[in-house]
Amino acid sequence: MTSVEQLVRCSRNLLGLELNGDVQRAFSRYADELLAWNENVNLTAITDPEAIEMRHFLDSLSVMLAVPLAPGQRVIDVGTGAGFPGIPLRIIAPQIELTLLESTAKKTHFLQHITDLLKLKNVRIVNARAEDTGQDTAHRERHDIVLARAVAQMPVLSEYLLPLCKVGGRVIALKGESAAAEVQQAENALKILGGRLEKILSVELPQVTETHHLVVIEKVAATPPQYPRRAGIPTKRPL
C-alpha cells in the first residue's frame, strides 16, 4: 500500500489535522486505486505517489482553511473527476452529505468503485453536466458548500456553481496563480448570479512551487431562474 506519511505530517503542520489509522489507510487505498485505474482510464496526469499526496490529497484538504465542515452540511463537488476535492474531504469529515458531480461516465464508474471500496456513506454520484444540474430542483440552491477545482475560468465557473448554492452558503474554487485576475473578470457574473467575493486565501503546499488559492464566494441573493443557461452556452458566452 502507498505510504501517506508525508500527508500525515503536512496535514498536521498546515491544517492542524491529525489523521488517524483508519483515515491513513483510506488515503493509501485511494492512491493505490487511482494509479491502478489510471492505466486504463485517464483520471490524473500526476502519477508520482508523493505528488498525489500533496497535489491531490493535501490540496483538497486545504478547503478546510476556508470553511469548517459541520455535521449534516450538504456539499457538492462540481466536475470532480477522480474525486477531488470531495472524496478527501469526505474521508476526514464523515458527517457531511456529499454529492460528486461528473459528466464523464468512465470517471463516475471510478467514483462509485472508490466510494464502495472505502465504504463512504452519504455520498451521491451524479453523472450530468453542471448546467443541467443547476436547473434540477433536487440540486438548485440546495447546497451549503459548492466546490470546484480546475474546471473553468471564474466567469464561466460562477455560472456552473452559484445556481447550486443556497443563499447564505459558500462557493469555493480551488485556483492557481491566476485567481485574482479571474475574480476581477468575474465581477459581472457574480453580481448577476447572486454572489459576492468574501476572500481569496493563499495556500503554500509543500513541494509545490506555485501558490494555490481558495476563492471564497458568499451566496447573497437567489440566482435568476434563467441561469445557468443551457449546456455549452456559459463557455461560449461568459457573463
The answer to whether residues 193 and 169 touch, using CB atoms and an 8 Å cutoff, is: no
Give the position of cell 500526476: 46
Identity at 111, one-letter amino acid code = L
Cα–Cα distance measured from residue 212 to residue 201, given in angstroms and rounded to the nearest whole number = 8
CA distance 6 to 53: 7
User: 74-103 burial string, b = 16+ CB within 10 Å, else e?
Assistant: bbbbbbbbbbbbbbbbbbbbeebbbbbbbb
Q: Look up residue 3 and give its amino acid.
A: S
Of residues 1, 134, 143, the one with CA closest to residue 76: 143
pLDDT tens digits in sequence order for the chain, 239 residues long:
778 999 999 999 999 999 999 999 999 999 999 999 999 998 999 988 899 999 999 999 999 999 989 999 999 999 999 999 999 999 999 999 999 999 999 999 999 999 999 999 999 999 999 999 999 999 999 999 999 998 899 999 999 999 999 999 999 999 999 999 999 999 999 999 999 999 999 999 998 899 999 999 999 999 999 999 999 999 999 99
Whether the CB-CB separation of 123 and 100 falls below 8 Å is answered with yes
Among the listed residues 130, 129, 139, 197, the one whose alpha carbon sits nearest the alpha carbon of residue 159 = 130
- What's the pLDDT score for residue 49? 87
Angle value at C-alpha 90, between 84 and 91, nearest 5 degrees: 100
Domains and CATH numbers, the chain: 51-236 (3.40.50.150)
The three cell numbers locating residue 2: 502507498
Would you say 144 and 209 are in contact if contact means Cβ atoms under 8 Å apart? no
What 3-state class would DSSP assign to 79? coil
Residue 78 β-bridge partners: 101, 148
Nearest to 89 by CA among 56, 44, 112, 117: 56
